[in-house]
Amino acid sequence: MVPNLDRMKRQQLLEFWKKYNRPSRNDAAELVGDREPGYVRDARQLANYASNRAAQLYCRGYNDNQGCRIYWKICDDILNELPLHRTWLR
């Protein structure tokens, strides 16, 4: 199941991205909890979220407020693109 990406540290987020950026079908199904149409794409989108969240944390470490806002916006856009029927989004 999908871990709470907002509670992960930067290195954990990057490791998540490495695993799910190009996930196997089995890894994607394990992550999202099913094999409904689009499950691999959804896993990849979560990986993109993790990557952008890691970038946001990097910016925060350097007090780059503009960078933080940009990466938060990207993260919000990614979440808004994910289907609402996924149980892990509830």
Calpha distance 37→42 (Å, rounded): 9
List the domain boundaries for the chain: 5-89
- Which tens digits make up the pLDDT trace of 74-86? 999 998 888 866 6
From its phi and psi, is residue 83 left (phi > 0), alpha (psi between -120 and 50) or beta? beta
The 10s digit of each residue's pLDDT in 28-71 is 999 998 899 999 999 999 999 999 999 999 999 999 999 999 99
pLDDT at position 90, please? 44
Phi, psi of 51 (to 5 degrees): -65, -45
Distance between start and end Cα atoms, the chain? 13
Contacts of 39 (CB under 8 A, 6+ apart): 28, 29, 32
Q: Please give the model's pTM, rounded to 2 decimal places.
A: 0.90
